[in-house]
Structure 1
Amino acid sequence: MNETALRSTALRWLAEGRAGMEVQVLSTRGSVPRGTGTRMLVAADAVAGTIGGGHLEQRAIEAARRWLAAG
């Protein structure tokens, strides 16, 4: 998802009153599918964008949803 689409999704979620979090890759080591600065948005029932897929992305989504549920 490009920057414009990600920003558009964030604005739409805000307008809908939908809680969401931004997940961003802050640093990398070795071979990685996406680089530093890659972002995605996570809501309780949706994800926009990707930080590279796989196990790490799934863990990031789960962590973001725990934070959202905690308020």
Structure 2
Amino acid sequence: MPGPVPESWPGLIGVEVNAAVQIISRERPDIRIARVLPPGEAPSPPPQDQVCVIIYNDVSQGPDRYVVVPPAPYIG
């Protein structure tokens, strides 16, 4: 991949979760797993030899508001 390889995506806060996953997949095709978690939940370790991204989504904002919330998506 030419140029710097992103490890976090602060610009995706407020973006719809599926759109965020597509953007991250384009920028980091090596990522095979996206974990969408509620705010404050600690992610479990990824499977060995796999890179995953952690995305937080606060469903308490409403059933139709599947958007990325802080912290920004990150490799974890």
The TM-score with structure 2 as length reference comes to 0.32
Name the structure with the higher helix share. Answer: 1
